[in-house]
Structure 1
């Protein structure tokens, strides 16, 4: 396996010839469609030998909404251990709120592919935002917790889920201990019925990190409470923030290094983004809003606007600028180089999992690269 960066004057024919692969393999692996245009600076996955037998086993999963394109899901499932169905909410009384669309078909396809479906629990309100008041009500009321855990067990049995993921964000600082107790109680009960429980953690770099996103998240307590944790190492670059990499590797590394002081490494999965952002410039705080784009869309934007893709060696992330209708834009996204950096980090620290937010768009080069370095664990391994 190699990574090739497109130069001025390259074509799919010249690259395939110089790299010793067929045009069909090059275009298929990198999802390059006719008329086979390329962007200068575009990173391409170059197919090599078949993966070796001694690849590192890795717990691989990703979140998906029930309205995911079925073809995208089918293409992704062979690379996964678990499929996290996003998401179920809950009421102040502990009743479950189902996803916005039917998820039975996703569960069926996952099970047919030998992938374990996981119920993702979030406190999302009707407005689609995380409701920390709902979290406060639940974690301080034992009866509501009991009802919620009971309903989770029934739903998991009914739907054939194989586990639970607790994805709460913006937890109040005063709820830190009660939230950890809730995760511990849920894990203890569901483990008795063979269900794994994971918890998603905001990307902290110290125990006393300030901010609503961090203060209610205790790495040590939650790491002890759950069977597995996901470090949500993405969203440094986000919809309302200034243009920057979504998951700059230098900042991702700091989160991992702190997490390892609080959580056993065998429980830990690295969060990986499967998307990018396009910001109109100049950026104005509170006004500018970035558009979420897929990695393939980012490349097409560069091609259509004659932009040359750059690569930030500190963040280990591709980016570029372009003009459209008199407005300059800045785009940051993921490619095989940025994924390589994240996979290398997983190996360097001996992490045991990789979790993708999210699987709605299929980026084949990522999965081919992943499968060269790791072998996805299957349930029971």
Structure 2
């Protein structure tokens, strides 16, 4: 989840809040929007909440003792309460000191019984203090050797939360198979996590990113492969799929100049360049290329309204709980209309 690393933002802590309206009780699909601490995210929340039945701000993490650090932006909480929107707090293992997700920090809270208990107790305290409906755990870069320990942590935390009538959501990397050789996705045992959690938010974005070779952020076949695997191992009504509101711009000569670009940034870039994007049938995504002022060739991959609608439609095809969007703040009404169209 959390793309601040690639955006260059130095967020010390990671948080998300998930909210529901009464639509959940009627069986409507969940449409979750993650937000950041930016003013732009708040504007999106207030401007596009009618398209959502779920939202999410970014700030909570924890330390080695299991203490929860950070706080929810008060304006977002106030707005949620004003609109009678239920909220979930998302906790991640993002470590400010290393500016990255910290596998060692995650391991500490899994293996140290005192820290684990303290962590769970503090989650309950936080949820009650802020009237959160639940907790969304987003541990990334978990070590391959901690696979069983992570499942055990989810079981323990979910049990404590359930006793206090607090729900659990877990965010996991996308994968189409349980591959021991994939250090990024192997640590997440879909079957066990899905057994203990109320919802599993599958991060079906970042198929490709500026850290590697050019390609779609979320190709159709790649998403389908993940969802096919997810619904075989987790109850479909617990699964939430990810939809990106950003694309990537690769500088083929200087990778350090490659950038993640938000929805509105891409629109501005296309207009400036008078670009003629091409639909890629294999990925179901859009792409175009250009040369910058230094004569460097760039390749851009992104989603437009038609591809967003098509990919949102997969939630209905696989009969899952809904979709999540990363992130609110730089998108347009046309983006949300596309999600809404796909979810109908």
Aligned equivalent of 1:322: 290
Aligned equivalent of 1:360: 329
> Which of the numbers 293, 307, 319 marks the counterpart of 1:350?
319
Q: What secondary structure is seen at the aligned counterpart in 2 of 1:190?
A: helix
Distance 1:303 1:353, change over 3 A: same
> Which of the numbers 289, 298, 308 marks the counterpart of 2:266?
298
- Is contact 1:236–1:245 with CA below 8 Å preserved after alignment? yes
Aligned equivalent of 1:118: 88
> Which of the numbers 199, 204, 210 marks the counterpart of 2:175?
204
Distance 1:307 1:373, change over 3 A: closer
Aligned equivalent of 2:7: none
The offset of 1:296, in angstroms, is 2.3
- Is contact 2:263–2:331 with CA below 8 Å preserved after alignment? no
Q: TM-score, normalised by structure 1?
A: 0.79
The offset of 1:56, in angstroms, is 7.4
Q: How does 1:197-236 map to 2 (within 5 A)?
A: 197-236=168-207
Q: Deviations over 1:27-57 (max 9, x none)?
A: xxxxxxxxxxxxxxxxxxxxxxxxxxxx972
> Which of the numbers 112, 116, 121 marks the counterpart of 1:150?
121
Q: Whose helix fraction is larger, Structure 1's or Structure 2's? A: 2
Distance 1:368 1:227, change over 3 A: same
Q: Deviations over 1:251-276 (max 9, x none)?
A: 11111111122111010111111111
- Is contact 2:144–2:183 with CA below 8 Å preserved after alignment? yes
CA distance in 2, matches of 1:373, 1:211: 32
Which segments of structure 1 move beyond 4 Å, counting only runs of 4 or more? none
> Which of the numbers 220, 230, 240 marks the counterpart of 1:269?
240
CA distance in 2, matches of 1:162, 1:290: 39
CA distance in 1, matches of 2:187, 2:301: 30
CA distance in 1, matches of 2:37, 2:265: 22
The offset of 1:209, in angstroms, is 4.5
Q: How does 1:51-200 map to 2 (within 5 A)?
A: 57-69=28-40, 70-99=42-71, 103-126=73-96, 127-200=98-171
CA distance in 2, matches of 1:107, 1:78: 17
Q: Deviations over 1:104-129 (max 9, x none)?
A: 11111122223222211001111331
Number of residue pairs matched by the alignment: 316
- Is contact 2:35–2:56 with CA below 8 Å preserved after alignment? yes
- Is contact 1:181–1:225 with CA below 8 Å preserved after alignment? no
CA distance in 2, matches of 1:282, 1:338: 29
